[in-house]
Amino acid sequence: MPEIKNKTVTKAALLGRDYPGTRFEVLVQVGDPVSMGQPVMRDRRRPDILFTAPIAGKVTALSRGRKRSVVSLQIEVGSEPVATVFDVQDSSDGDSIRDLMLRSGIWTALRQRPFGTIPDPHDRPTAFLITAIDTQPLAPDPEQVIALQPEAFSKGAEMLAKMVDVPVYICKSPDADLPEVKSGQVSVAEFAGPHPAGLPGVHIHRLCPVGFGSNSPWHIGYQDVISLGHLVNTGRAAPQKVVSIGGPALHETKMLSVSQGASIEEIINEEVENEEVRVISGSLLNGHNASGDESFLGQRHNQITVLPIRNSPVSDWKLRSFFEIRPGSHITPLIPTTDLDRAAPPGVLPVPMMRALLVGDTERARDLGALELVEEDMAMLSFVCPSKTDYGALLRDVLNQLQKEQSAVV
């Protein structure tokens, strides 16, 4: 097992892009001191959902994007670390656990399908999945991370089972050895194989397929389960999570223990000697570019990928520059090679879905199963398709449209 290095950072942030479809109401102002676990933002539509500070310190910046959406809320570490202590005495029934998750901000780690948004606290899921498998390139091994705090993981899973009161599946790889969870509701589902096998979308497709608004499973990552267990055991939010840092620009993949939303610039300054790199929060396939106001670890990301910056490869055909008519005007088409079938999310016809997304046909995309998917499920298709289209972003547009229509009906 690789050594896990503890890395303290001086800056951390909450990123708006981690929560698609959420409009934030900021509760603090730039310059305010905050303690770790203190609410700093909340969901404008569902004020019960609180977003809490990942570290204690001072709010240093609030950067906003289009339509005054929140890009990032940055916090710089203060002189003394103060942590909010939550009352965890009463965690016996579902409602009190739900309340604790909302107060501590762990609720925001939950995701629901369809749409991949934070679920509504008043809703009940039809199934609950704990993703304890990660098949993305260079990702940390969940088995090893859970082995650091096995009691916290079991406790967290038990609490979640108690809270949702529906079947809970722990999705793991067949050879992973996870701590036992003492709850009749919890069962283990095993998934083997290369990359899409570890995505919640695949697990949901197998275990509890999403339909036209009738079925809404929730899922959560294994590190957030550990955080919940830690919270229930100690009353304080878990200060750190384990991430791997690796990629073609680094010699080896390392494991680090950092705070939620930690500043990636600070992390890589130590690790990377070569200055010309591009850093991605998350995996090579569907991570986010970490630069500027967004160079912080994403909420659902368990890894940091570092890529060397290279100039575009020299065209294999030297005459091309001779024939170039308008540089950069080359829009490559979608060529439906059989590669795409292997990269497709299960049960979805890849090319019809990609075509529907390309032309923005919301209805057809929904009929073909867009409600089962989020951006990360389309990442492999973007990767393989020669047209270099970001199908995840197109899918999000379609999902936003569908969500708007659904809320208009309700």
Does 318 sit near other proteins (CB under 8 A)?
Answer: no
Which listed residue (30, 85, 148, 335) binds other proteins by CB under 8 A?
A: 335
Separation of alpha carbons 234 and 97, rounded Å: 14
User: For other proteins, which is the closer residue by CB, 197 or 284?
Assistant: 284
The sign of the dihedral angle between the CA atoms of 172, 175, 176, 181 is: positive
E-assigned strands of 143-200? Answer: 168-172, 186-190
The interface with other proteins within residues 259-298 (CB under 8 A) comprises 278, 284
* Amino acid at residue number 179: P
Do 172 and 191 touch, CB atoms closer than 8 A?
A: yes
Q: Count of CB atoms within 10 A of residue 47's CB?
A: 9
User: Taking CB under 8 A as the rule, does residue 206 contact other proteins?
Assistant: no
The number of angstroms, rounded, from the C-alpha of 148 to the middle of its chain's C-alpha atoms is: 21
- Regarding 389 and contact with other proteins (CB under 8 A), the answer is yes
DSSP bridge partners of 242: 257
Q: Where are the beta strands (DSSP E) in 115-231?
A: 128-132, 168-172, 186-190, 218-221
Exactly one of 47, 177, 318, 325 binds other proteins (CB under 8 A); that residue is 325
Nearer to other proteins, 170 or 210 (CB): 210
CA atoms within 13 A on the CB side of 153: 22
Q: Which of 342, 359, 404, 405 binds other proteins (CB under 8 A)?
A: 342
- Site for other proteins contains 66 (CB under 8 A): no
Would you give the binding string for other proteins spanning residues 128-167, x where CB under 8 A is met?
----------------------------------------
The smaller minimum CB distance to other proteins, of residues 159 and 385, is found at: 385
Alpha-carbon distance of 185 to 151, in angstroms, equals: 18
- Cα separation, 122 vs 167, in Å, equals 18
Q: Residue 369 interacts with other proteins (CB under 8 A)?
A: yes
Binding of other proteins by 407 (CB under 8 A):
no
Instruction: Give the residue with the Cβ less far from other proteins, 182 or 342.
Output: 342
Q: Which residues contact other proteins (rule: CB under 8 A)? A: 209, 211-212, 214-215, 248, 278, 284, 307-313, 315-317, 320, 323-339, 341-342, 347, 349-352, 367-369, 382-386, 388-390, 393-394
